[in-house]
Amino acid sequence: MKTRLQFEVVALTVALVVSLPVFAEAEPPAGTLAATLEIFVFPAEGQAPGQQSKDEVECYDWATANTGSDPFQLLKDIAESEEQTEQAKADAKQTGQGRGAAGAIRGAAAGALIGEIANDDASEGAALGAAVGLVGGRRSGRIARSQAVQQAEQQEQASQEVSAEQIENFKKAMTVCLEAKDYMVKY
């Protein structure tokens, strides 16, 4: 079953082929499906531009079926993933907000208790505890933000590596198919 994207790619390719001027037998048409994927195809046996476009579409379909990857969908997924990563980074910058105030409250409570026990002056202990708690809370907030941003970046990098590998495998499969149809192929 063809996906909507595959149908659109085929329709685009047909439209390109119909609108292309007639080329010399050995010159590959510009704007072909393979060229869009940064795969360079030369008709080693003098295949006509129309035949080359037809062969590219067949090899595209074959490579998609055999790798389970559609490079156009992968590129769309990469763009969406980048947007999600940017949103995650923005959200991560909010991580740890309020930790300074929370630390100050906890510090003040602990300081008041210790100040009361140590020298019967809860207010002095609370002030000192609040200052220590504020500094500690802010520091833990910065660490949490940094870790959240780093985690988002690592997830994005891993996602891009997987997608790049899938695109590479697709290009290998399409190359094999085109070479079997007597084209010289480089990507």
State whether 47 and 27 are in the same domain.
Answer: yes
Q: How far apart are CA 67 and CA 54, in angstroms?
A: 20
Alpha-carbon distance 23 to 25, whole Å?
Answer: 6
Do 78 and 162 lie in one domain? The reply is yes
Q: What is the Cβ-side half-sphere exposure of residue 174, based on CA atoms within 13 angstroms?
A: 31
Number of helices (H), then strands (E), in the chain: 6, 2
| pTM, full prediction | 0.59
Question: Tens of pLDDT along 90-145?
Answer: 877 776 666 667 767 777 777 676 766 777 777 777 777 777 777 777 787 788 78
How many domains is the chain partitioned into structurally? Answer: 2
Q: Do 33 and 9 sit in the same domain of this protein?
A: yes
**Does residue 8 share a domain with residue 56?**
yes
In whole angstroms, what is the distance from residue 172 CA to residue 167 CA?
9
Within this chain, do residues 152 and 136 fall inside the same structural domain, yes or no? yes
Q: Which domain holds residue 151?
A: 73-166
Residue 106 and residue 43 in one domain: no
135 and 80 in a common domain:
yes
Give residue for tokens 């008709």.
43
Identify whether residues 80 and 48 lie together within a single domain.
no
Model confidence pLDDT, tens digit, residues 26-45:
444 457 899 999 999 999 99
My answer on whether 27 and 109 are in the same domain is: no
CA atoms within 13 A on the CB side of 117: 5
| Mean pLDDT, rounded, for 18-32 | 47
Q: What is the DSSP letter of 62?
A: H
Question: Does 110 share its domain with 159?
Answer: yes
Residue 59 has what pLDDT? 97
